[in-house]
Structure 1
Amino acid sequence: MNVAQEWLDALRRTETTGQRLFGSKELGEIEIERKSSKAITIKGKFWAGSLTHDNDVLMWGSITNPYFSDFKKSKTHIHLTNGTFKMMEPLESGFNVENGATISTNTGDIICGNVNGIRDRVPDPDRRVGMSIEREHFSELLAPNGKIIVGDVRETVYLDGDEILVLNLIDNVKLKGRKIQIFGSKVSYDVFIELKKDGILRFFDRGSGFDISDDAILKLENGKEFFLDELKNKKLIGFGGQDMTYDFLNNLDSYSQTSNWTSKFSGLKFFKR
């Protein structure tokens, strides 16, 4: 991707458009085009390397990462200094982010399909016979000033955004946001959710919340932590859920166990950006 980056930089300096294929037929090709709007389109699977752009990126394809490589320059990282990253119809087309790839934006949003990380085992670095260690390769989506909109998130993933909209959270997932909306019915025991100050959280599962693990952890920015069973016992999760503000959660212990919890949420609304 070094050649692609140099080509894009040249087009940016001259304020021109262009279209070009990168890669090889044997290992896979991607097509990159710079539009007159300064946005770029990427068509094909992004296999490795870094790419930085100063405007929107629209993509038709998946993104993976050579997690087995020890060379940092080969790691997959798409970074936008301005603008939004968007996969086009990702769930319908099966476009994923996987195997430890990273997408980051300074100001914009990230919209993609399902997100998967990966864990592997390697020989013990101290060369102890028969021993190995596990390595975690987190796929990361970072949009500190924007929205992250994704499908299912599973197996070693980290999300950090101002707003996060996600379906299911399964197996070693960490997410941090100011406004977090979880629309699926599955949250596994090893999920860690951190809510930023002045934020709001909601689980939209219309069932009983059975597949939302009691042992998943919610942490507030000030360090206060809950197991999700505390919220389920108060009927804040399940049957459509309730809007839970940061301040409400921070003061949860001050409410009586016998209070009418539904009435305490009257008047609460989603924050608007």
Structure 2
Amino acid sequence: MSGRGAPAGAEAGPAHAGEWRGRPLGARTVSYDDTRPIMYALAVGARATDLDLVFEERLRVLPGFALTLAQWAPDALGSAGAFDVTTAVHGTQRLRVLKPLPRSGAVEMSARVGEVWDKGKAAVFDVVVESDYFEAAWSLFAPGRGGFGGERGPSARRRPEAAPDRTLAVRTAPDQAALYRLLGDRHHMHIDPEAAKAAGMPRPFMHGLCTLAAITLPLAGALGVHPADLAELEGRFASPVFPGDELRVDVWQDGGGVLFEAAVDDRTVISSGLARFA
């Protein structure tokens, strides 16, 4: 997690983690031109030949770009004192698309704390962001904030017992984290080897949201749909991915969408994945 300041007018928050439930995090309007969604597409694996993702004259904005516009909300909760920003980690991400983002413009968003789950030694804070274009929720795992007597919350979706319907290979690029951080999440651990070591990692690692989005492009290709038609996305960040890693993505058909799980060698890196396309 990284903090960029609490929302205007924010007061000191409650010490009891459960008392953060329902707390407003403010509203924000974020403007952008067509450069940012193009940069986002390149950062999550689009090629120069994908003209409808990287050429302004034909541009369709990838829905995951919305999460870069809304990054202020989980940062605001950390800055407001809900948890220790040096130890909290991004556990799960959810995104539901309401309508396509424009190539450029301004997006109005409001944010609040949803549920706060008690995991015993930790709390899980759900940060909900709503706009006319999308609804998104970050689940943030905060060590040391549990034990307040709240509910544990739902269990993560289990890996299907059946054999995968297909398996994809997704290669990340050596410079992918360096490019993705230009979209707003500038945690030093994604670029600086010393900062990564201080966080317990052997070297800089990928942003979870970059890895999750990178899977959606080849997944859409395998399903014969356009990646900009993504309607719903979920994933749990199980362990880090390092730039240059190759992911093995197991995919199961699930009604109108798919379930997926990604691994590097035998180590699961994204679990409980779900994607639906319009």
Q: TM-score, normalised by structure 1?
A: 0.24
Answer 1 or 2: higher relative contact order, Cα 8 Å, separation at least 6.
Answer: 2
Q: Please tell me whether Structure 1 or Structure 2 has the larger radius of gyration of its CA atoms.
A: 1
Higher helix share: 2
The structure that is strand-richer by fraction is 1
